[in-house]
Amino acid sequence: MSLRRLGEILALFVLTGAAHAAPVTVGPIVITVPQGFVAAQTQKQKKALITAWTKSLQGSKTLLQISVIDLVRPAAPEAAEKFLRQALDEIARRRSNYAASPVAHLALAGVPAVRASWNGSIGGYAVMGVVYSVIVKERYLVKFLAQDLGNTPTDGVFEAMQAIESIGMS
């Protein structure tokens, strides 16, 4: 095989791999991070893991963040709503002109979960987002956050939501 042909095959392999994101395991969940999202940070604490990705497009920077908290003792799936409301309260404290949607009930990877969207302002800039909360394996609280600038969801937020709503369990 010629060196040129090998290069063409390698380039095709790299381009094909870039088009299909690989699943990433974050604590007890598996998520396929949407194409174009770049790892931003990971923080490991004693009983928590927070990891995030961002996607920059046309002046906005979509954030996709996953927080996994080890609750140590068992928690019922219904506890997810209490933790969602706490997350919304934290967001409200850091935003002006804050408003949230009613809580929606859904399933993530077959597990009962909750979701709410919100709008607000940071430093005079409109920002919006969506938060999900789910109790996994009766022990882990998993919170997902997708946010971006503006008053309505951007393509990046929709991509993040689709990835969240397509998670699997590890």
Domain boundaries, the chain: 23-169
Average pLDDT of 92-109?
Answer: 97
Quick one: CA torsion of 132, 25, 165, 97, rounded to 10 degrees?
Answer: 30
CATH architecture, domain 23-169: 3-Layer(aba) Sandwich (3.40)
Confidence of residue 5 (pLDDT cuts 50, 70, 90): very low
Query: Is-contact 23 109, C-beta < 8 A?
Result: no
In the chain, alpha helices (H)? 3-19, 79-93, 155-164
- pTM score, whole prediction: 0.86
Q: What is the mean pLDDT of residues 131-144?
A: 97
Q: What is the pLDDT of residue 158?
A: 97
State the average pLDDT for the chain.
88
